[in-house]
Every structure is written in structure tokens, then in C-alpha cells.
Amino acid sequence: MVGLEKDILLTKLYIPKPRPKAVRRPRLVEKLSEGMHRKLTLISAPAGYGKTALVSEWLADAPVSVAWLSLDGGDDDLGRFLRCVIAAMQTIEPSIGKGLLPMLKAAESSPSEAMLLSLLHDLHSLSPAMVLVLDDYHLLRSPSIHEAVAFLLERMPPQLHLVITTRAQPPLPLARMRAKDQLTEVHAGDLRFAQREAGEFLCQGMGLVLSETSVGILAERTEGWIAGLQLVALALRREGEPDRLIQSFPPNHPYVWDYLVEEVLNQETESIQSFLLQTSVLERMSGPLCDAVLSDGEHTVRAGFGEATLALLDRANLFLVALDSERRWYRYHHLFAELLRKRLDPTVAASLHIRASSWYEANGFALEAFHHAVCAHDTKRAARLAEGAGLPLIFRGAVTPVLQWLESLGEQEKNELPGLWVMQASALLMTGKTTGVEPKLQAAEKVLQAVEQSDMTRDLLGHIAAIRASLAVSKHDAERIVAESHRALELLHPENVPVRTATLWARGYGCQLRGEWAEASVAYTQALANSERVGHVLITMLATLGLGMIQEMESRLYLAERSYLRVLKLAGDPPLPAACKAHLGLARLYYEWDEREKALEHTRQSVKWAKQLEQTDCVVESEIFLARLKLAQGDASGAARMLAESDHTVQRQNFAVQLPQLLAVQTMVQLHKGNLAAAERLATANGQLASTRARVYLAKGNSAQAVAILKPWHQELEQTRQERERIEAKLLLAVALFGHGEKRQAVQLLREALALAEPGGLVRTFVDEAALLLPLLREWTAAEAASEYCGKLLAAMNQLAPAHGTGQPVQAQQAESLIEPLSNRELEVLRLIAQGFSNQQISERLFIALPTVKGHNRVIFEKLQVKRRTEAVARAREFGLL
């Protein structure tokens, strides 16, 4: 797990054991057991009320598997939180989150809803019941974590039960859960010791001899507060006259703690007092860590002193909590540690934090070392640790704590270390707060202009350019991407591999947008090699995806298929939203190979996962292709409706890059309907695509105008590696020349197109042009011996010949005997009924509401004059509709 060494992680997953002489709470244990059928058990009370002790007592004998996670402030980052939760659950079921963990480690932005769905997918496969405990939940303040927990609570399977212990009510949908009887609650009033329990704790648990009257006074003065009673017991152990001390207790609960801490500390030796105060800066501690913190430049404690003292404090029950079964790691009771820290001089505390930071750094705990440097207010040290040794902390799941620290610094501090401005810009970009990025970059540049150039300043300037290239990627601004990435690669230090790798990918994308396929391929290949070397899974996915798109454009379709399938494997199951592009690529390939069912399924998956991405045009791109598939099925009306929705999104979101393809498919719909005037208007607006305008002129019978458009386009493409477009240009130009009477040249272009297309097995590129291409292909095959590939294409086109020849919908010719023919949508529903799909399944596959499906069923039954599904299928087969 990135950023957490194994033994530190194990302390967070350790299930606390009930103390041998602990007061049993059968009433509360029974309440928790009865609440297991609900989703959530919430134990909310101030510090010192025994929340953790109650849960450990309950679960010690519970017949369920338990995953425990002790939270701390370093977990206040959604990515890190989810990794810790998965690690906890993997102690029960190792397969949980196995495919998701690499994505969380590599994610350069906040985990998405798709990642949470992936985790839920794994949880639904749980066989035994599991309880997940999130201890000290109040330490988490990130809204994204609360939203994620609420999301999981709403959808988690019944075999999982969540337990949260917290000092404050968490911002979760508790009111709704209460109304649905999904919540069991335990509060401070439930946890307070009654007089009987207080007596048992003081006399049996702490070994005191007290009268019932004294016990009653203590229970009343502390209000049953368990931590207060424990301090009372520690203070009374060495008191010769316990009644005197009991009578002198302050009457108000808030003052009891301060009073008793003072009493307890005064009774300890000077050595123990010093140990308690100095080690209070540690959130968790081991013997060697305590030795390092207690040793300064002049004095070094003897080896093993920390371990021996921790064991002594553990035996004395002095607010020490064991964090592992070997009792190597401990923590103080939180409130006890807080009050000890109040007694520390700030200067002394800072030096202690620095020693802790040094020990953590030397032992490979990067995030913990950073945390203590921040607590010491040592900006330079914290900055160096945040930069990391080769991989910054923000790339290791610590975006939130680093960003919070950066936002706490003043401008002067960041001006003294301009790299902090750049780090903050990078962190903002990763969290999607793009509007705040450019001002931070400009602030860094302003400082760097006034300092002497060095390798460090050059690297910072390179990082600034790399961030700007990433910003341009989201806007598909090819020129800006290429310019900024080129500048970045010139300036970045050769050893700054993480930033160089991301920049190489950005450069590849920019070159791809400009149609510079060779340059894009080189950049993607370099980015892929780097990302695989350093384990950067996200860039590995994106670079592989980029290479697949280039392979597709170069008509190396089988290689492209392998690339897209690799992306899906890397993306996990269910996949990350970024996999929508790979699904769409596979949809295009399978459609080209005339495997339309597979193409349709991948397109639906592409739409589904694209909707998980924010502020991108991936949904529009997928929906446009889905409309094209509908058109290929003869559903021109359905395609038009979907394109209208996409058009609205393009205009609203200003997704200009999708406009040419949108207009192209809209033009195809109008041509399919025979609306030549409307098609021509769209083609004129879509001036960038020569192929679309040429198709309109060919449909109008104006071959000369089509040739005038296609010849320059064809000549331009002949100088490129864009094989798919070259094939399309040759086909259309061949058709136009054939119609213009230039048959010899038309046949030569057709021959060239077939030679380019055969290695990739292209089918639909030819079949979709059947109405225009079939006369030319028939004439050529009549004169020359056709290859097996050509024969396959000719057979496929001949099947569509009647529909293309008459311009009538296919179903009108198949079922002329019907009084009222079925519409395209009704035929689509009928085919799914014949395949055995339920109404709900049809609704999901066709992206229409369930009542709409039922309405189609009624109309189909009326037109076929039947009453049942089976009768409808049989009648449809009689009419040749299936």
C-alpha cells in the first residue's frame, strides 16, 4: 500500500482486545447484536466514554467476521481512506478491491463513483457476514469521504454491517436511515457508568477499596464518565485518605479532567512525567520511535528504554492502547494525549516533531515524516518530504493533506519556495479545481523571474508548462498541448520521471489531435515504457489507449483490438470511467467487422461509464456512435432523437470538437430519410468533412461536384498514415468517377481501396456505401476474378440491395401483408422479445422507460392481431419479420 509501511498499516487494522478486568456491558452488547440486521451502528459520544471498548467487547464473541480500521488525521483523503478500508476488508476476504487498488494508487484525481461501484461489486460477492468498524470517524473532515460513505451505505449488500465510532455526529443521511429503520444508535447517555458499574470498575477493575457512598459521589461528580473514573482510580491508588481526595473533586465535569491529569502526573516519577509529555506528540509509538524522540543532540537514551517504559505504562493501565497483538505499537488515549500536549512548550514540541519526522523518514514512512514536519512548522523540510524521493506525495494518495498544508501557508512562505506554488497548482488540477490553477502558476513564474537560473528553476518552469499542457488536454486544444508539452520536456530534469511521463502522454494526445500520427505514436510509446517502469497505471492505460486509436486509424485493426482489450484489463471490473474510450474503440472495430451485437454492447458500456466522468465530451462521442448503430439497424427516427439530445449537450457544454461528427451522422440520417435539402444544409455547415459533402452531391446525382471535392481530399490523405480515411476517400472518389464516366480510374481506386482494407478485414466501410458502390463493384467483378474477400463484401451488399434500391424501409418489403406495418422501434422490441428478453431488460438495452416498452408491446400485439408474446413471435416469423 503506497505511503504506508506494512507494520504501520497493521496497527490500524488491529482489533483491540477487551481488558481482562473490564466492566461488562451486557445491555449495550445485546442492543448492538439486535441491530445487526440494520445497515449502520453509530456510537457517538465525547472522548473517554468507552466507545472503542464497547465495540471490542461486543465483537469478541460475535459470530461474524470483523474488519477493523482505526482512523487518524492522515486518512482524511478519499483515495487513502478507500485504500485503508480495502486493506481492512482484505483481512477477511483477500479478493475485495483487488482490481481497484492499482487504480487508487495510480489515480491522479479524486476517486470516482465508478470506483465505488467497483468496490460494491466485490462486496456483493461476500459469502460470510462481515462487520466493518471505522473507529474515530470524527478525525475525517473531507466532504468527499462522507459522500462516499453515504453512497456505499445506500447500496451496500445485506451481508455487510458498518459500525462507526465518533465524537461527533457524522454528516451522513442519518434522518433518512432512522426513518427506514436502518440505524442503531448509542450515545453518551447510554455509555455512562451507572453507580453499580462505576463500583465494579473502581473496585474490581482498578483494585480499590471504596465505600458505596464514595462510589456514589464519584459516579455523580464524573457523570459516569469512564475516563474520569479511571483517572480517579489512578489518583487514589497512592492516596492514604481517599475520602479527602474524593470530597475535594470539582463538582463540574469539564474541570475534572484537568484536575485529575495534574494529580496523576504529580504522582509519577520525573522520568515517567518527562516520557509522557515528550511522547505525547506521537499519534502512534513504538519503542525505537520513542527512543529517537527522547534523544537530542546532547543526550541519548539507552537502547530499549522506550520499549521498557511502554510496557510499564501498559501494565499500569495509564491510558495506553495497544495497537497490535505483539504489543509493539501503542497510542495514548486521545484526550489524555491532547491534555499532555497542552503542557508542552511550543519550541520543545517543534523539536520533538522534527526528531519524529527524522525517524519516520529514515524508516521509509514518507507521509508520517511529512505530517510531523508540518506540525513542527518546518516549511522547508515539509516541502522536501512532499516532493518525495522520485514520486511526490500527491501522486501517492496524499493529495488532501498536502493541499490542506499548502493552503495554510502564506504567500511569503510560498514565494520563498516557489516550488510550493507549482505543487499547489498540480494538486488543484488533480482534485478538479481547475479555475485556481493558473493564478498559482503565474505566482510561481513571478518569483522565478527574479532568481538565478539553475537546474531546479528550469525543472520548475518545465513543471509549470506540463501543468498547462494538462489543462489544454481537457479542452482538446492541440496547439497549446503540443507547445506546452514541448517546452516542458525541454526544461524538465531527466530524473523527474513522473512529470515527464505524464507530459509525454499529453504531447502524444496533442499530436494525435493534429493528425501527426507518427509523432503521437512515438510519444505514446515513450510514455508507456516510462509508466510501466515506475508503475504508473493510469498513464499506462491512457498511452495504450492512444496507441490503439492510432492503430485503428492506420487500419491495423487487430492490433487495435489487443490494445483496447488491454486497457479494459488494466481498468478493472467494473472498469474505471476512463475505460469508456476503450469500449467505444472496440465498438467501432466490431461494427467494422459486422459483429453488430458486440458493437452495440460495447457502445452501451461506453455510454454507461462515460456518464461517470465530469466535464468531458465522452458521453456525446459515445451517443453519436450509438445513433449511427441505430441508423444501421434502420431506426432513423431513434437515431435522430438521440442526435438531438447530443446536439443540445454540445451546444450547452461547448463541446465543439464533437460538432463535425455530430453533423456528419445527422446528415446521414437525412440522406436515409431522403431529405436531400436538409442533408445539404447540414453538410454545408459541416464544411470540415469532405466525405459528408461529397455523399450529399452523390445522392443528388451530381458526380462532377463530388469529384471536385474528393480529389483534393484524396491527394492530401495520400501523404499521411491515416489508412482508414484513405480507404474511405478512395471508395467515394471511385464512385464519383464511375458516375462521371471515368470507369478505368474508378476501378483502379477501388482496387487500391480493397488492397488497403483486406489486411484489417474491413466490412462495414464498404457495406454502408452499398447503394453507391454496388454498381461499380458488380461491373468490376464481372470483368475480373474476384478475391474471396471481395466476394464476401459483394454478398453482404447484395443482401441490402433491395432496400437500397427502392429507398423503402426493409420491413415494408418484408411484411406487406400486414394492415399496418411495424415501425423500426416496434421491430426492435419484437426482435428482443423473440430472444427471450423481459420488459425490464428491453428497457435497459434500448435506453427507454419501462412503460414505453409495455406500450410498444400493446401496439405490436394489435398490429399482429395476437394476445401473447409467444403468439407474436410465431406470427412475426410467418410474416418474415424475424
Domain 812-878 of CATH type 1.10.10.10: yes
- pTM equals 0.68
- Domain residues of the chain, as ranges? 6-191, 193-264, 359-451, 689-807, 812-878
User: What pLDDT is recorded for position 880?
Assistant: 67
Buried (b) or exposed (e) across 231-253, using 16+ Cβ within 10 A?
A: bbbbbbeeeeebeebbeebeeee
- How confident is the model over 630-689, as pLDDT tens digits? 988 888 888 888 888 888 888 887 787 888 888 899 999 988 888 888 888 888 875 557
The amino acid at 290: C
Distances (CA, A) of 281 to 46, 151, 269, 273, 336: 21, 35, 20, 14, 11
Distance CA 118, CA 430 (A): 21
Percent of the chain with pLDDT over 90: 37
User: What pLDDT is recorded for position 128?
Assistant: 74
**Backbone φ, ψ for residue 468 (5° rounding):** -65, -35
Q: Is the pLDDT of residue 490 over 90?
A: yes
**Backbone φ, ψ for residue 496 (5° rounding):** -85, 65
Average pLDDT over residues 602-610: 89
Any idea of the CA torsion for 272, 273, 276, 281, to the nearest 10 degrees?
-140
In the chain the first and final C-alpha atoms are separated, in Å, by: 55
Average pLDDT, the chain: 84
- How confident is the model over 116-175, as pLDDT tens digits? 877 888 888 777 788 999 999 999 988 889 999 999 999 888 889 999 999 888 999 999
Band (317; pLDDT cuts 50, 70, 90): low
Task: Please provide the size of the chain in residues.
Answer: 882
Longest dimension (CA), the chain: 120
Class of domain 6-191: alpha beta
Q: Locate cell 478512395: which residue?
A: 730
The C-alpha angle with vertex 41 and arms to 37 and 43, in degrees rounded to 5, equals 155
Q: Among the ranges 535-544, 746-755, 859-868, which has the highest mean pLDDT value?
A: 746-755
Q: Is the pLDDT of residue 538 over 90?
A: no
Please answer whether residues 266 and 343 qualify as being in contact, where contact means their C-beta atoms are separated by less than 8 angstroms: no
- How confident is the model over 831-867, as pLDDT tens digits? 888 877 888 888 877 777 788 888 888 888 888 878 8
User: What pLDDT is recorded for position 812?
Assistant: 38
Strand order in the sheet with 40-44: 65-70, 130-135, 160-166, 40-44, 183-187
Distance CA 505, CA 171 (A): 39
* CA dihedral sign, ordered 350, 356, 358, 360: negative
User: What pLDDT is recorded for position 745?
Assistant: 92
Which superfamily is assigned to 689-807 in CATH? Tetratricopeptide repeat domain (1.25.40.10)
Burial (CB count within 10 angstroms: exposed 0-12, middle 13-18, buried 19+), residue 744? exposed
User: What pLDDT is recorded for position 806?
Assistant: 34
Q: Is the pLDDT of residue 105 over 70?
A: no
Ramachandran region of residue 777, left (φ > 0), alpha (ψ -120 to 50) or beta?
alpha
pLDDT: which is higher, 522 or 222: 522
